[in-house]
Every structure is written in structure tokens, then in C-alpha cells.
Amino acid sequence: MKLAFSTGGTTPDAPLDPRFGRASAFLVLDLETKEFDLIDNGQSVGAAQGAGIQAAQRLVRADVKGLVTGHCGPKAFQVLNSAGIDVYYSNAGTIREALEDFENGKLSLSSGADVRGHWS
């Protein structure tokens, strides 16, 4: 299963970006092989509107099954939810810490957006 983390960095030790739609990248980790890839989200960082919608489609195309991020707005959540991507909110400092929390069952599956659009 592939799990995506919102981030501004390029490695598992990079900070987890609390924003979803306007994070500059997603680190996608294959939980079985422990290999990771980066998805560039730079186009959404400067989008006039709909950054979260655009970012969510990137995850759909990358065949991601779960997302760990700080917060998610209603439109992005709708796309993720419709595509069957599980969303987990975390306030961990780094991707590695967020992953540990995920593996230890400390992150709970969210049932909806936790912020309004354009919150950050």
C-alpha cells in the first residue's frame, strides 16, 4: 500500500507540511518495500483556486491509498474520499515521526475535512 505525506522536503526526515493542497510535494512511501518517491505539487502551490482539488488528483494518479497531512479542506477531502484515499491528520514534526505514529496505530482515520477552504 502506498501512503503519501505532505512535505516541503525530499526525504523521510523532512518536516511534515501541515497544509495539504499547497504543500510543495508529497513523499509517497510503499509500506511493503519501504521505497519512496516524490510527487511534485509545485503547480498547486501557486494555483489561484482549487489547489487541494488539483493536489488530490495527483495522489489519485499515483495510486496512493492513504494520506498523512496536517489539515485538509472540504473540496480536497471530497476528492480524496470519492477516490477511496484514507486521510489521517497528524501534527508530527517530521515524516518519520508521522510514519511511526501511523504504524503504531496512533493516527485515526478521519471522516471529514478539519478546516475550511483557504485556512492557511
Partner 1 sequence: MATGSGSEGTIKIAIASGKGGTGKTLISTNLAWVAREDDPRVVYLDCDVEEPNGHLFLKGEVERSRVVNRLVPEINNERCDGCSICSDFCAFNALATLKESTLVFPELCHSCGGCALVCPNDAIVEVEHPVGTVRMRKVGELATIDGIVNIGVSSVTPVIQAVKQSIPAGSIALLDASPGTACPAVETLKDCDFVLLITEPTPFGLNDFQLSVELLRELKVPFAAMINRVGVGDNRVHDYCQSEGIQVLAELPNDRRIAEVYSRGELITEGLPEYRAVFERLYAMLLDRCPQNGMAMEKSNGTM
Interaction of residue 72 with partner 1, rule CB under 8 A: no
Cα atoms in the Cβ-side hemisphere of radius 13 Å centred on 87 = 26
Pairing mode of beta strands 66-69, 86-89: parallel
Site string for partner 1, 74-103 (x = CB under 8 A): -x--xx--xx--------------------
Euclidean distance between CA atoms 71 and 119, whole angstroms:
9
Select from 6-14, 56-64, 91-99, 100-108 the region that touches partner 1 (CB under 8 A).
56-64
Backbone φ and ψ of 77, nearest 5°: -60, -40
Measured from the CB of residue 116, what is the shortest distance to partner 1 in angstroms?
A: 11
Nearer to partner 1, 76 or 98 (CB): 76
Question: Phi first, then psi: what are they for 5, rounded to 5°?
Answer: -125, 135
Label residue 89 left, alpha or beta by phi (over 0 means left) and psi (-120 to 50 means alpha).
beta
Q: Which of residues 36-55 bind partner 1 (CB under 8 A)?
A: 47-51, 53-54
Instruction: State which residue, 79 or 113, has the beta carbon closest to partner 1.
Output: 79
Give me the residues that bind partner 1 (CB under 8 A), please: 47-51, 53-54, 56-57, 60-61, 75, 78-79, 82-83
